[in-house]
Amino acid sequence: MSDKPIREMNRAKNRNTKSVAKDSVSTSGANDTSSSSRSTARQTTSGGKLTSEKLLSTVTNGPGSKWSVCALVTGLAFATRLYKIEEPDHVCWDETHFGKMGSYYINRTFFFDVHPPLGKMLIGLSGLLTGYNGSFEFENPGVKYGDINYVGMRTFCAILGSLIVPLSYLTVFEFYNSVTAAFLTSLLIIFDTGFLTLSQYILLDPILIFFITIATYCLAKFDKIQDKPFTKWWWFWLAMTGVFLACAFSVKWVGLFVILLVGLKTVFDLWQLLGDLSLSKTILLHHFLARALCLIMTPALIYMGFFAVHFKVLAFSGSGDGFFSSAFQSTLIGNSLYKASMPQDLVYGSIITLKNQRPAGGLLHSHWHLYPEGSGAMQQQITAYTHKDENNKWIIKRFDRDPEKEDMQKPVEYVKNGDFIRLEHLVTRRNLHSHREPAPLTPRHQQVTGYGEDGIGDVNDIWKIEIIDGPDNVYIKTVRTTVRLIHYVTGCALHSHSKTLPKWGWEQLEVTCNPHIRDKKNLWNVEDHINERLPNSSFEVFAPSLLESFLESHAVMAQSNSGLKPKEGEVTSRPWQWPVNYKGQRFSGVNETDYRVYLLGNPIIWWSNLAAIGILHLAFIFAVMAQRGIEGTGKYEELKKKFLYSCTWFLIGWALHYFPFYLMGRVLYFHHYFPAMVYSNMLTGVLLDYALSGLHSYKLPYCNINMYMAGNAVIVAVIIQSFALFYPLSYGMHGELAENVNSTMSGLKWMESWEI
C-alpha cells in the first residue's frame, strides 16, 4: 500500500494547525480578554438579546477595533465640543484676558502675563488665520462681540480640547492594551461637563491639557518599544516626548508637573537598565545621553525659542512695559526709552521717574488721594505703579534750596553720590516724606507719604542718595546707576514690594521706608530724565541681550505669579474641594435672565474617579500582602502586572498634577484641577475594565448575554445619562430656561455649594 495518501493527510493537518495558530495570534492583544470572552461575545451577538451590549461587543472586539473605536470617540469629541461653539456671543470669564492677549500678538503690542507665551501666541495666530483683525478690546465679561470674528479662536481651542479624547484613548491602549479600557476612558472625558465647558472658550486650559496629554501619549509609545533601543522609532518617540514637554511648559508652568512625571519614568527606566548586567557601560552611557539630549536639552532650546519669537513679535510699546526694567523698555518701539535721547547725568531741577529694580517693580507714584487713617491721615498716598503716568514724575531738588528760584544763567549742579535731596511730586507739589508711623500693610516698616505744599515741608522730607558700591562725588546717571534713598531722620530706605493696597489705594503697590537698608527691594534707578538745559544722549547701547531679556521675564513672571491674589468678590477655591466637585465656576450669567454657563464636573464621573483612586490603594495593599504570602491572597496573579503598572503611572500623574497646589500661596481656581483629571479618568477606565474582566465566562440568568459586555453597557449608559442631566450647564441656559433656572435645575443641585 502506498504511503502517499498518508503524507497528504499529514500535510493537510499541519496546514490546518498553522492556520488555527495564526488566527489565534492575530486576534489576541486587542484587549486583555481571553479566547472564551471572544466566543461568548460572538454567542451574545448571535443571541440578539441586548442591542447596546451587542454594539459594544462588535465595536470593541471586531476587526480593526482599536482604530474604529478611536474614530468613534474622536467623532463624538468633535461633535460635542463644536456644537453651539458660537454661543454665547459675548465675552465669557477669562476670555477677557486671553482673547485680549491674542489681540496684542496680532497688533504686535507688548504686554505682560504671568504665563509663558505659547498658548497666547497660538490663540493670536488662530484668530489671525480665521479673519480676526485684533481690534476688539475684550474689556469685560458680558460685552457683546458684535461683528467681530471670535468663533475662529474658540474653534481652535475646541479642536485641541477634542483631540484630548483620542490621545487619552491611545495612551490607555499603549499602557494597558485594552480597547474597552481606552473606550471607557474616552467616554469619561467626552461626557464630562467640565472638560466640555473648558474646551469651548478662548482659554489656555484646552491648549495646556492637549500638550500634557500628547506628551504622555509619546511617553507611552516610547515605553512600548524600549526593547528596541536606538532604532528609528525609539528615537522618534523619545524626541517627540521632549518636544511636547517643552510645549506644555511653554503654555503654563503647570506643565512642569508632566515634566516631573516623565522624569520619574526616565529614572525608573534607567534604574532598570542599570540592573541589566548584560549591558556594557558604554551602552548605559548612550542611554543616559540620549535621554539628556531629547528630554532636557531639546525642550530647553524649544522653550527659549518660543520666548525669542515672543520678543520678536511684540516689538511695540504697550501695557506691559512698566513691569520690566528700564534697559528692557529701551528695546520697545514707541517707548520713551526706545532710541531715546535724554540727558545722561542727573542735575538738580531735572524732572525724573524712579523705577524700583525688583522683578515687576513699579515706578514711584503719587496722586491727590490721601491715606484714610493713622497719624499719616490727610497726607498724600505714595505708591508704586507699573504703568507710565504723569503722576510718576518728580522734581529733584537740593535739601536746602529750590533750583527753580535760582538764576538760570548759573551752571547746572550735578547730583552726586552722598548728596542730601528732596523729591517734589510734579503734579501735586508735595514732597516725598516719611515718619515713624507704621506703613499700612507692613507695620514693621515706616509709612511714606506726600507732605507739604508747593514744595515747602519739613526735615522729614530729606533723603540721602547713595550709589550702590560707588565712590563719593560720582554723578548719578540715567538708567545705568543703581541708587538707594536713605531717610535723613530715621535712617530707613525707600522700599517697594509686591503687596497691593486696598481699594482706597487703587490696588497699587505699597511703598514704605524699610529699616533694613540692605534689602534688594530698596534699589532704584532713574528711568526718564527731562532737562532742557542738558545735552541728550542715546540709550540704545544699554538694550539687553536675548538671554538677559529671557531671564528678566522669568524673574518678573515668578514674582507676579506668587503674588496673585483674588479680586474683590471673585469666586476662588481650595485644592481639597476639587476632587469632590465641591464648587464650580461661573463662566457667564450676571443677572437673572442672562445666558448662563457654569463650569462643573459631571458628578457621576468625578465621584467615580475618587472611588477608583481609593480602590486602587486597596489593590496595592492586597498586592503587597500577596507578595508576603499572607493566607487568603493566593489570587495575586489575577492582579496582572500590566494593570498595576499602568495604574501606578496614572496615579503618579494624577498626584503630581494635584498635590503641589497645596503648597502654592497664589490664588487658585477650580479649573486648575483638570490636568489631574485626565490621569484620573485613565485610571478609572483601566480599573473598570479590569474589575469587569472576571465576568467574561459568566452570563446573565435567563438569557444568553455575557456579563462582561452587559456590565460595560450599563457603565456607558450611566455615563451618557448623567451627561444628559447636566449638559445645560455647559451649553448654556438662556431664555425661559435661564429665567426659571432655580425650578428647572433644583432637582440637580446635589450639593448646596453648587451655584447652579
User: Tell me: the pLDDT tens digits for 374-405?
Assistant: 555 678 999 999 888 899 999 999 988 776 66
Compute the half-sphere exposure of residue 299: CA atoms within 13 Å on the CB side of its CA: 26
C-alpha cell at 358: 525688583
At 622 the pLDDT is: 76
Q: Under a CB-based contact definition with an 8 Å cutoff, are residues 554 and 112 in contact? A: no
Ranges under pLDDT 70 in the chain: 1-64, 374-377, 403-409, 470, 539-541, 566-570, 590-593, 625-640, 735-746
CA dist 60 → 53, 331, 543 (Å): 11, 59, 61
| Long-range pairs for 544-553: beta carbons < 8 A, 24 or more residues apart | 544/325, 544/327, 544/328, 544/331, 546/308, 546/311, 548/327, 549/307, 549/311, 549/328, 549/331, 550/304, 550/307, 550/308, 552/324, 552/325, 552/328, 552/359, 553/307, 553/324
At 3 the pLDDT is: 47
Angle at alpha carbon of residue 419, lines to 358 and 516, rounded to 5°? 40
CA distance 164 to 674: 12
* Residue reference for cell 550735578: 414
CA distance 134 to 149: 10
CA distance 511 to 529: 22
Is 146 exposed, middle or buried, given 0-12, 13-18 or 19+ CB atoms closer than 10 A?
exposed
Under DSSP, is residue 668 helix (H, G, I), strand (E, B) or coil? coil
CA dist 315 → 196, 249, 250, 598 (Å): 36, 23, 20, 38
C-alpha cell at 599: 463650569
CA distance 375 to 504: 17
Q: Under a CB-based contact definition with an 8 Å cutoff, are residues 265 and 219 in contact? A: yes
C-alpha cell at 46: 448571535
CA distance 747 to 740: 13
User: Tell me: the pLDDT tens digits for 323-367?
Assistant: 898 889 888 998 888 877 788 899 999 999 999 998 888 999 999
Angle at alpha carbon of residue 15, lines to 14 and 17, rounded to 5°? 65
* Global confidence as pTM: 0.84
List of domains in the chain: 95-306+576-748 (no CATH), 337-540 (2.80.10.50)
Cα 451 → chain centroid: 44
At 339 the pLDDT is: 77
Q: Under a CB-based contact definition with an 8 Å cutoff, are residues 314 and 323 in contact? A: no
Compute the half-sphere exposure of residue 47: CA atoms within 13 Å on the CB side of its CA: 20
At 453 the pLDDT is: 87
CA distance 598 to 474: 62
CA distance 166 to 507: 45
- Helix, strand, coil percentages for the chain (3-state, nearest 5): 50, 15, 35
CA distance 325 to 171: 44
Q: Are strands 420-425 and 463-467 parallel, antiparallel or unpaired?
A: antiparallel
CB-based burial, 519-558: b 16+ in 10 Å, e otherwise: eebbbbbbbbbebeebeebebeebbbeeeebbebbeebbe
At 437 the pLDDT is: 92
DSSP 528: E
C-alpha cell at 250: 511653554
Radius of gyration over every alpha carbon of the chain, rounded to an integer in angstroms = 33
Dihedral pair phi/psi, residue 331, rounded to 5°: -90, -10
Angle at alpha carbon of residue 262, lines to 178 and 219, rounded to 5°? 40
- Helices and strands: H and E segment counts in the chain: 23, 16
At 254 the pLDDT is: 95
CB-based burial, 430-463: b 16+ in 10 Å, e otherwise: bbbbbbebebbebeebbbbbbbbeebebeebbbb
How many residues are listed for the chain in this entry?
756
At 565 the pLDDT is: 73
CA dist 656 → 257, 363, 616, 618, 664 (Å): 6, 39, 17, 20, 13
Dihedral pair phi/psi, residue 422, rounded to 5°: -120, 150
Under DSSP, is residue 223 helix (H, G, I), strand (E, B) or coil? helix
CA distance 304 to 325: 20
Q: Are strands 509-514 and 493-500 parallel, antiparallel or unpaired?
A: antiparallel
